[in-house]
Amino acid sequence: MANEITANVTDHGSSSSWLAVADKLRILSAAARYDVSCASSGSSRNSPAGSLGNVVPGGICHSWAADGRCISLLKVLFTNFCVYDCAYCMNRRSNDIERAAFSPSELADLTISFYKRNYIEGLFLSSGIIKNPDYTMELLIRCVKLLRENHGFAGYIHLKAIPGADPDLIFQAGNLADRLSVNLELPSQQSLNLLAPDKSKASIFGPMQRIRDWSLEYNPPAGRQRLVSYSGINALTSAPARHQPATRPVFVPGGQSTQLIIGASPEDDRQILTLSESLYKKMQLKRVYYSAYVSYNHDSRLPDTQPPPLLREHRLYQADWLLRFYRFSVDELFENGPPLLDNDFDPKIMWALRHPEFFPIDVNRADFESLLRVPGLGMISARRIVQARRVGRLNIEDLAKLGVVMKRARYFLTAPGSDNGTLGLDPTRLRQRLLAVEPPVLKPKQLTFEDMTGFQPEIFKDAVMGQF
C-alpha cells in the first residue's frame, strides 16, 4: 500500500494525461463533499502586480448553498488514501472504494487552470492521512507553495492542518494559507474513542492552540497590516520560484475553523453548542461548522440515520449565529427547556416564547441589545431602527421598510399603529399563531463540482490540455 500511495503522489510533470487527472478530480472532489469547514470570509491578502486572484476584506466573490456551504472554492482532497479507520468516514482504510491521489504539481496546475476559466475563486484543500501526519502535511504545503510562488496565485486558500503534524509544518502552512482548519469531528473524547480510535482531543486541540497563539503573536493589531516576504518561509522544494509575490499578510489572516459531525454520536445540542461556545472564547475560532451525519458505512457502532438530520444541522447553525453575533449564551438558549433545539421554530423564537415577561419591546425606546432579542429583527434592521428614530418617532409601517420581518416581530414589539390586541398572548396560543406563519424548512442538497460548473470530461480536456 505504501508504494502504491507514493507512486500516486509523485510529480509526473507533462506525463500526466488529462483523462487521468479528470478521474482523480472526479474521485477526490466527491470524497471531499462531507467536509464543510470552509469559508472565504475574513482574509485580507494583498495582490501584487502580476499575480493571480484577489481576496478583499469582505471575502472573495463566492456563492453559497442553501444550507450555508461555500461553493465557489475548488473543494477537493489531495488524496482519499488514509491510514485511519474512523467508523463514520467514507474514506476509512477498511472501505473498498475507488482511491486516487494528486501530485502537488497536478493539483496546483489544475487549480490555476480552473481559476483562469472562472470555474472557481479559490481552493479548499484537505486530505486523507498518507503514511503519517507529517508526510501528508508536507505534500499539502508543497502544493500550496507551488500556487503561491511558482504561479503567483494571491487568491483565497483554505488548508487543513493535520492533527499530529510537526508544529513547524503547521507554522509554514499558516504562512501560506488564508485560513487553517483542524477538524474536531466528534464532540467528546468518549465518542472519539468509540468511532475514531486513532484520534484524540489532545492531538486536535494542540494545533488549534498553536494557531491561536501564533495568530496573536505574528498578526498586527486591527488597522495595522504588517507584511512579510515569502522569501522568509522555508521551502520544501529546491525549485526556484518563478513569480514570487513581494508581500503578504502575516499568518492565517482568515483565522481558523473546525467541523463537528452531528448525529453520529449521542451528544445533545446543548453539549455541542457548549463546546462551540468554548472554542470561540478559548481558541478564538472564526467558525464552527456543523455537518449532518450521512450514513454510508455499515458499522454497529453507528446509528442508522436516514435521512441525514439536516434540520438539526440547520437549527445548530441558527443557534451558533446567536452566540456569535446576537450576544446570547448557551445557558440562555436552553434555559427552562430540553437539551435539544426545537424542530418547529428557530432558537430566538423559542427563547422569546420562554420569556413573555421581556415583551413587548417599544421600538422607539428599547436599547440595541433589547432589539436584538426580538424575533424578526436582525443585526441590520436593529441598527436601522436605532439610526432612524434619531430623526423621528417610528410607527408600525416604518418597521417593514427598515427590513423587520413583521409576521414574526409583530407579536413581540409595539409602536404607534401596532395591533395591541395581539399582545399579551400566552406562550401556547402565541406558538400556534407563529406556527401558522413559519416558512417551511428547506431541504438543501450538497452541491458537487459537476453541479457547480456543468463539468464534462470533454470540456475538462480543453481546459487542461497543455497544462500536464
**pLDDT confidence of residue 68:** 52
Q: Are residues 273 and 413 in the same domain?
A: no
Q: Are residues 346 and 413 in the same domain?
A: yes
How much is the average pLDDT of 168-188? 94
Residue 248 pLDDT exceeds 50: no
Computed over every residue of the chain, the mean pLDDT equals 81
Residue 119 pLDDT exceeds 70: yes
Q: Are residues 77 and 221 in the same domain?
A: yes
Residue 301 lies in a domain: yes
β-partners of residue 75 are 124
Residue 325 lies in a domain: no
**pLDDT confidence of residue 8:** 54
pLDDT single digits (tens) 378-416: 999 999 999 999 999 999 999 999 999 998 898 899 999
Q: Are residues 312 and 347 in the same domain?
A: no
CA distance 422 to 429: 10
Residue 9 lies in a domain: yes
How much is the average pLDDT of 217-234? 48
Rg value, the chain, Cα: 24
Q: Are residues 114 and 193 in the same domain?
A: yes
Q: Are residues 390 and 245 in the same domain?
A: no
Q: Are residues 217 and 353 in the same domain?
A: no
How much is the average pLDDT of 59-81? 64
pLDDT band at 312 (very low <50, low <70, confident <90, very high): very high
**pLDDT confidence of residue 34:** 75
Q: What is the DSSP string of 136-172?
A: HHHHHHHHHHIIIIIS-B-SEEEEE--TTS-HHHHHH
Residue 369 pLDDT exceeds 80: yes
Residue 447 pLDDT exceeds 80: no
Residue 372 pLDDT exceeds 80: yes
**Side chain identity, residue 36:** V
CA distance 183 to 36: 10
Residue 230 pLDDT exceeds 80: no
pLDDT band at 58 (very low <50, low <70, confident <90, very high): very low
What is the extent of the structural domain holding 352? 342-437
| Residue 311 in grid coordinates | 434540520
> Among the residues of 355-404, which ranges form H helices?
368-371, 379-388, 396-401
Provide the Cα torsion 111, 117, 120, 123; round to 10°.
20
Phi-psi region of 155 (alpha: psi -120 to 50; beta: other; left: phi over 0): beta
How much is the average pLDDT of 161-166? 94
Q: Which residue has the cell 433589547?
A: 370
Residue 336 lies in a domain: no
**pLDDT confidence of residue 135:** 97
CA distance 127 to 138: 12
Residue 414 lies in a domain: yes
Residue 331 lies in a domain: no
User: Which range among 226-240, 296-310, 316-330, 425-439 has the greatest average pLDDT?
Assistant: 316-330
| Residue 298 in grid coordinates | 455499515
pTM: 0.81
Q: Are residues 279 and 392 in the same domain?
A: no
**pLDDT confidence of residue 60:** 33
Residue 468 lies in a domain: no
Looking only at the bridges linking them, the beta strands covering 227-228 and 248-249 are antiparallel
- Provide CB contacts within 8 A for 254, sequence distance 6+: 40, 41, 42, 43, 156, 158, 178, 179, 286
Residue 395 lies in a domain: yes
280, 288 in Cβ contact below 8 A?
A: yes
Residue 237 pLDDT exceeds 70: no
3-state secondary structure of 414: strand
Q: Are residues 312 and 353 in the same domain?
A: no
Looking only at the bridges linking them, the beta strands covering 122-126 and 156-160 are parallel
301, 86 in Cβ contact below 8 A?
A: no
Residue 370 pLDDT exceeds 50: yes
Q: What CATH number is given to the structural domain containing 118?
A: 3.20.20.70
Q: Please report, rounded to a whole number, the percentage of residues in the chain having pLDDT higher than 70.
A: 74
3-state secondary structure of 48: coil
Q: Are residues 174 and 304 in the same domain?
A: yes
Burial of 74 (0-12, 13-18, 19+ CB in 10 A): buried
β-partners of residue 181 are 160, 257
Tally the domains of the chain: 2
**pLDDT confidence of residue 417:** 86
Q: Are residues 275 and 404 in the same domain?
A: no
**pLDDT confidence of residue 466:** 46
**pLDDT confidence of residue 462:** 58
Q: Are residues 187 and 65 in the same domain?
A: yes
pLDDT band at 440 (very low <50, low <70, confident <90, very high): low
